[in-house]
């Protein structure tokens, strides 16, 4: 799974609009890459000469994100899930997430996995929604905590309050919709019942929230390790804030695995945080290599193996 997670999408829906936006974003990303070919080549050369020890650390952090995703998913349900297959499913979901827009690939894989584990369709969808919502809340809380702990040291912070203003508006819209629609009200009531049951079990609640926090921190850790690998000394708080803002912005554009949207947002965020343009491009390339491109082929193999063994 990548740094960007979306709420579950019904499997039967055909997201033509999202696919259209995906094509537009990918085309724009291709045009930007072609226009900055020299910077891209320079970033690739710099990554090839990077410190191997820091790259190994970044690789370990990337591998840890799959375990954290599995812990958070276990925390979203009361039933005990098979640990090995759960971690394998998160690894496979990360590869599938790069094939379909808006997190649909990871959603389908995890939904089928939970259904195979005996959960009903409603409870499986609720578990995925709870995990995604907690992940978004965690990233928002981490951003606010960074702003409080280090005011004035993160130049990107000037844009955060404007984004946070939208949260109460969105929450109010959801409450109003639930009050108007009887069916939606019943669905929300069932979802809250599942959330209450999960949080009544301290171990499950700790796994849900702790896994989500660790997931975000490890993704930011991959970015930070790559930055150190290329010899750039940006403060850790600026790097973490850059990742949080970039992942939040990329979630608004439904591209497969944030391809194009996350890359551009992260490069811009790192540049605003003080990184030179070439170093920002190099960091994005290293982050993508470790969290997306290298795990793609083995992830698809694991996906096929899980399907062959009827685990999906």
Decide if pLDDT at 78 tops 80: yes
Decide if pLDDT at 308 tops 80: yes
Highest mean pLDDT among 2-16, 103-117, 158-172: 103-117
Q: What is the pLDDT of residues 47-75, one digit of tens each?
A: 777 888 999 999 999 999 999 999 999 99
What span, in angstroms and rounded, lies between the C-alpha atoms of 144 and 160?
A: 8
Looking at residue 186, its pLDDT comes to 65
Looking at residue 157, its pLDDT comes to 43
Q: Token pair of 119, please?
A: 């959960």
CB 45: neighbour CB atoms within 10 A? 11
Count of alpha carbons within 13 Å of 95, Cβ hemisphere only?
A: 15
What span, in angstroms and rounded, lies between the C-alpha atoms of 239 and 211?
A: 20
Looking at residue 179, its pLDDT comes to 55
Domain boundaries, the chain: 57-308
Decide if pLDDT at 254 tops 70: no
Which of 61, 266, 312 is closest to 257 using CA atoms?
A: 266
**pTM, rounded to two decimals:** 0.77
Q: What is the arithmetic mean of pLDDT over 141-163?
A: 65
Q: Which residue has the tokens 């790069």?
A: 98
Looking at residue 273, its pLDDT comes to 84
Q: What is the pLDDT of residues 89-138, one digit of tens each?
A: 999 988 888 776 656 778 889 999 999 998 888 888 889 888 988 888 89
Q: Token pair of 188, please?
A: 């929300």
With pLDDT > 90 as the criterion, what percentage of the chain qualifies?
22
More confident residue, 219 or 79: 219
What span, in angstroms and rounded, lies between the C-alpha atoms of 162 and 159?
A: 6
More confident residue, 234 or 183: 234
Q: What is the pLDDT of residues 223-236, one digit of tens each?
A: 999 999 988 888 88
More confident residue, 197 or 91: 91
What span, in angstroms and rounded, lies between the C-alpha atoms of 103 and 14?
A: 14
Decide if pLDDT at 144 tops 90: no
What span, in angstroms and rounded, lies between the C-alpha atoms of 171 and 136?
A: 13
């Amino acid at each position: 799974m990548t740094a960007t997670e979306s709420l579950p999408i019904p499997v039967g829906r055909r997201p033509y609009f999202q696919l259209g936006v995906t094509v537009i974003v990918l085309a724009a990303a291709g045009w930007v890459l072609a226009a900055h070919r020299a910077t891209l080549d320079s970033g690739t050369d710099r990554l090839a000469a990077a410190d191997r020890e820091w790259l190994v650390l970044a690789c370990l952090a990337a591998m840890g994100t799959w375990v954290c995703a599995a812990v958070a998913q276990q925390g979203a349900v009361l039933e005990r899930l098979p640990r090995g297959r759960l971690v394998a499913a998160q690894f496979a979901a990360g590869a599938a997430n790069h094939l379909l827009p808006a997190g649909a690939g990871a959603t389908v894989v995890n939904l089928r996995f939970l259904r195979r584990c005996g959960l009903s369709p409603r409870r499986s969808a609720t578990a995925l929604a709870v995990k995604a919502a907690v992940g978004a809340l965690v990233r928002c809380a981490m951003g606010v905590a960074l702003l409080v702990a280090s005011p004035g040291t993160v130049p990107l912070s000037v844009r955060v309050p404007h984004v946070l203003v939208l949260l109460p508006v969105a929450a109010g819209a959801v409450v109003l919709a639930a009050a108007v629609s009887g069916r939606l009200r019943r669905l929300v009531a069932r979802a809250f019942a599942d959330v209450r049951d999960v949080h009544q079990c301290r171990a499950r609640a700790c796994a849900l929230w702790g896994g989500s926090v660790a997931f975000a921190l490890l993704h930011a850790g991959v970015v930070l390790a790559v930055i150190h690998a290329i010899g750039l000394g940006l403060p850790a708080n600026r790097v973490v804030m850059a990742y949080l803002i970039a992942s939040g912005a990329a979630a608004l554009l439904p591209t497969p695995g944030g391809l194009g949207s996350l890359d551009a947002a992260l490069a811009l965020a790192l540049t605003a945080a003080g990184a030179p343009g070439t170093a920002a491009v190099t960091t994005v390339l290293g982050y993508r290599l470790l969290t997306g491109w290298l795990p793609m082929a083995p992830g698809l193999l694991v996906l096929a193996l899980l399907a062959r063994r009827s685990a999906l």
